[in-house]
Amino acid sequence: MNQILYTGKGKTHGPASLKSILRFFAISLIIFGVIFIGDGSYALYQNEVIRKSSIDESVPEISFEQEGNNAIVTITHNKPISRVRYHWNNDVDTIVNGNSENTFILDNISIPSGINTLHVTAIDENERYSESSYEYAYDGICIELSVIDNSYIKITATDVTGLSYITYKWNSDEEITAYPSTENNTIIEQTTEIPTGLNTLSITAVNTQNKTLTKTQDVRGIHPPEIQLYIQDNYLIVMVTDEEGIDTITQQINVEEERVIQANGAKEFSYKYDISDRENILATITATDVEGVSRTVKGKNY
C-alpha cells in the first residue's frame, strides 16, 4: 500500500508564534499611549490658552490737563484705583489714596514757575500700575522764602517771562525795591536780616507784562545775646544785651566752678568781677535769653 509523505512546512503554534502576538500588542499599546498623551497635552494646552485669555492685563490710563497754575491729572481704569504717586522733576513722591472708583482726578497740583515735568504712577486694586510724565510750562510769578541761621531770610522771585522788580518790607517799615540783573531778568534774589521777635514780611513781584503777585509771611527772628568783655581797674566787666530779654549768664574763670547769674528778663545786664589777685585769667561767659537762645564768648588778659 503506497503512502504519500508530506514534506512541506506547515503552520505551527509554538513559542515563535506567541512572541509575534505579544510584540503586536506591545506596539499597539505604545501607539495608543502616544495618541492618548498627545490628546491630553493638547487639551491642557487649550485650557491654559483659555485661562490666559481670560486674565485682564489692562492698566490705568493717565491723562494731563492744565488750568491756570494747576495741573489736572485724570486716571481711568476698569478697576478701582488704589493709590497715586506723583512728583515734580526729581523731587520726593507725594502719595494720594484712591477713591475706590474707576475714575480718579487730581486737580490741586500747583505748577511751579518755569518748565517742569510731572511724573505720575497710578496703581489699581490688583497692584497693576502704569507710569506717565508730562512737561508743563508756566509763565506765572513764583516767590519762595528760605530762612538762613534763624537770622536772615532769602527772597527768591522767578518768572520765565521776565521780572521788572520786587518790593519788600518788614511790618510797617519803608519798602525796599530790588531789580533783576541785566544778564538774567527771570530771577531776583535778596537776603534781608530778620528783626528780633515775630514780624510780618510783605513781598510784591511785578513781571514784564505788569502782572503782580503779593505774598506775606510771618517770621520769627531769633538772635543770640550780645556779650562784651573788657578789663578796667582790676575788674572784669561783663555787659550783655538782648532784645527778647536775658534769662541767665554763666561765668567760668579758668577752671573754676561755673557761676550762674540770674538776669530775670532784663534787656541789658552788666556786672564786674574782681581779678586783682590773678595774673592770668581765661573767662568763659555764656548768656541765654528768655527764648533759650545762647551765645558764648571767651576772653583772656594774657
CATH number at residue 91: 2.60.40.10
Q: For residue 241, is it within any domain?
A: yes
Same domain assignment for residues 210 and 165: yes
Domain end call among 123, 138, 153: 138
Asked if 136 and 115 touch (Cβ cutoff 8 Å), the reply is yes
- The average confidence (pLDDT) of the chain is 84
Q: What is the pLDDT of residues 57-71, one digit of tens each?
A: 789 999 999 887 789
Residue pLDDT, tens place only, 142-195: 888 988 887 899 999 998 778 999 999 999 999 999 999 999 999 999 999 999
Q: How many domains does the chain have?
A: 3
193, 221, 249 — which closes off a domain? 221
* Domain match, 296 and 241 both: yes
Least confident of 131-145, 168-182, 240-254: 131-145
Whether residue 204 is found in the same domain as residue 159: yes
Domain end residue (candidates: 104, 122, 138)? 138
Residue 16 within a domain: no
Is beta strand 152-158 parallel, antiparallel or unpaired with respect to 187-193?
antiparallel
Residue 53 pLDDT: 47
Structural domain including 161 reads 142-221
Widest distance between CA atoms in the chain? 177
Instruction: Indicate the pTM of the whole model.
Output: 0.47
Q: Is 81 in the same domain as 113?
A: yes
Residue 36 domain-assigned?
Answer: no
Same domain, 172 and 211: yes
89, part of any domain: yes
DSSP codes, the chain: ---PPP-S-----SHHHHHHHHHHHHHHHHHHHHHHHHHHHHHHHHHHHHHHHHS-----EEEEEEETTEEEEEEE-SS-EEEEEEEETT---EEEE--SSSEEEEEEEEPPSEEEEEEEEEEETTS-EEEEEEEEEE-S-EEEEEEETTTEEEEEEE-TT-EEEEEEEETTSPPEEE---SS-TTEEEEEEEPPSEEEEEEEEEEETTS-EEEEEEEEEE--PPEEEEEEETTEEEEEEEEEEEEEEEEEEETTSPPEEEEEEEEEEEEEEEE-TT-SS-EEEEEEEETTS-EEEEEEE--
